[in-house]
Structure 1
Amino acid sequence: MKIALPSRQNSIDDHFGHCEYYTIFTVDPNRKAILDEQTIASPAGCGCKSNIAKTLSEMDVKVLLAGNMGQGAVNVLHASGIEVVRGCSGNVKEVALRWLAGSLLDSGDSCHAHEHECHS
């Protein structure tokens, strides 16, 4: 199983649509272990209007662990079959391990303060 984390300097980026890159972990949920790690560059444009949902879906990512994001981005990711968990912060590996341990839940918080029209 693969999970993705919007990243900046090896930590969760607070703003999904403008992250530096995405950290992709291949995980074994049964063993609660990280098996592999890779990064992919963040596409141009805000998250919900870029091709990131399609790209992550094609990589078989099933869960995105994020800091904050607008509802438009959540909708686009859900439409691509990707579960979203908002409200995450800290080192990406530590966040992934907390999710594997079952201690992360979606905060339900959506970003509303944008300087662009990236929410719907």
Structure 2
Amino acid sequence: MRIAISTDGDFVSAHFGRCPSFTIIEIENGKVISKEVVDNPGHHPGFLPRFLHQRGVRYIIAGGMGQRAEGLFAQAGIQTIMGVSGSIDEVIDKIIKGTLKGGESLCRPGSGKGYGVDKTECEHPEEENQ
């Protein structure tokens, strides 16, 4: 099973499309057999689902993503798990133990500043409380 985790440093990125990189892990028989960090090749509608699918990814984990992106991942046969936060190592440990729980996407419809390829920010609930 290959899983991509939207990554920002050592942590799950709040928004998959703007993350600096993806941590791609492969798990067999409850053990991580490979782990690689791949730079985000760019955010263009529909590109990332194809990019990750070509690498055998079947699950994407992120803090959040928009509804359109979720639909594109579904079309590519990749299941989305949103509302996840914490360190990459903690998330991997939870995956192996079967205790990882997704939740509501941290991204809300229309919450971004601008749309399309040039969109650079997405307002997440925790950002509004700061």
Change (3 A) 1:91 1:67: same
Shift of 1:50: 5.2
Q: Aligned residues, how many?
A: 114
Paired residues of 1:22 and 1:40 also in contact (CA < 8 A): yes
Structure of higher RCO (CA pairs closer than 8 Å, 6+ residues apart): 1
- Aligned counterparts, 1:62-101, within 5 A: 62-101=58-97
Contact 1:77 1:84 in 2 (8 A): yes
Partners of 1:110 and 1:67 in 2: how far apart?
6
Q: Deviations over 1:5-37 (max 9, x none)?
A: 010112101111110100000111xx3211111
Larger radius of gyration: 2
- Residue 50 to residue 44, structure 1, CA distance change in 2 (3 Å): farther
Task: Give unpaired runs (5+ residues) of structure 1.
Answer: none
Instruction: Specify which of 50, 53, 65 is matched with residue 57 of structure 1.
Output: 53
User: What corresponds to 1:105 in structure 2?
Assistant: 101
**Structure 1 counterpart of 2:17, which letter?**
G
* Identity of matched residues, %: 25
Partner deviation per Cα, 1:77-114 (whole Å, 9 max, x = no partner): 11111011111111112202212322123313361211
Q: TM-score, normalised by structure 1?
A: 0.85
Note closer, same or farther for the CA distance 1:50–1:78 as it changes in structure 2 (3 Å cut).
Answer: closer
* Counterpart pick for 2:35 among 18, 34, 37: 37
Please give the per-residue CA displacement for 1:34-61, whole angstroms capped at 9, x wherever unaligned: 1111111112235xx1511101101110
For the pair 1:20 / 2:16, whether they are aligned, the reply is: no
Which residue number corresponds to residue 2 of structure 2?
A: 2
